[in-house]
Structure 1
Amino acid sequence: MDLMGMMGKLKETQQKIEDTKNRLDTVMIDEQSNDALLKVTLTANRTIKSITIDDALLEDKDQLEDYLILVLNKAIEKATNVNAAEIDAVTKMDMPMIPGMEDLFK
Structure 2
Amino acid sequence: MRDIMGMMGKVKEMQAKMEQMQAEIAALEVEGRSGGGLVTVRLNGKGEMLGLKIDPSLAKEDELEILEDLIVAAHKDAKTKADSETQEKSKALTSGLPIPPGFKLPF
TM-score (normalizing by structure 2) = 0.77
- Counting matched residue pairs gives 101
The alignment-based identity, stated in percent, is: 29
Unmatched 5+ residue regions in structure 2?
A: none
Report the Cα offset of residue 38 of structure 1: 0.5
User: Does 2:23 match 1:22?
Assistant: yes
Is 1:36 the counterpart of 2:62? The answer is no
SS of corresponding position for 2:59: helix
The residue aligned with 2:78 is 75
Q: Cα offset for 1:98?
A: 6.1
Give the C-alpha shift of residue 77 in structure 1: 0.6
Correspondence for 1:4: 5
52-61 vs 1-10, greater mean Cα deviation: 1-10
Find the residue that maps to 1:39 and give its secondary structure. strand
Q: CA RMSD in A?
A: 2.3
Scaled by the length of structure 1, the TM-score of the pair is 0.78
Structure 1 stretch displaced more, 73-82 or 33-42? 33-42
